[in-house]
A = this chain, B = another copy of it.
């Protein structure tokens, strides 16, 4: 009897393709909504949501913001620059480490987030949650949360010239 092969079988491959297609279609849908409702890209929304919803202080360091958004440092600088130019965040030197930069969401940023969220959740309801019961949503979160934690802790070993954190 052969060992259980380590390579994904049909079920795993199916889960993978379904995951990627759903996420891709969903991202496309919410990106349109965000663009129309607030002239935001999805990445910009992610950054604002992280500052405005996840962070108690509304502030985070550039390096910490990069985690989970998976960007090159220059890409984050670019996006933060756009948000700052739009008045949605500010950038100041970090208090404890003079090399660091602290990004803080502004009132305008919070206002835009609040303005955009209702339509955003509408899209989520229509596109993602309509075929899912509340229990399904819970099950989905329970399945994906450990994966997210695993991925965060096991970043793709790239030949990157520099490492984050």
7 new A-B contacts at CB < 8 Å, known A7-B125, A20-B27, A139-B143: A18-B140, A19-B22, A23-B24, A25-B68, A127-B150, A131-B147, A140-B140
Q: Can you tell how many copies of this chain the complex includes?
A: 2
- A125-165 toward B: CB 8 Å interface, digit per residue (1/0)? 11111111010111111011111111110101010000000
Tell me the smallest distance from the CB of A71 to a CB of chain B, in Å.
9
Q: Which of these, B29, B131, B138, contacts A156 with CB under 8 Å?
A: B29
The reply to whether the CB of A78 lies closer than 8 angstroms to some CB of chain B is no
CB closest chain-B residue, reference A21: B148
The reply to whether the CB of A8 lies closer than 8 angstroms to some CB of chain B is yes
Leading 10 A-B pairs by shortest Cβ distance = A23-B23, A15-B141, A18-B144, A29-B156, A131-B146, A25-B151, A131-B150, A15-B140, A7-B121, A14-B141
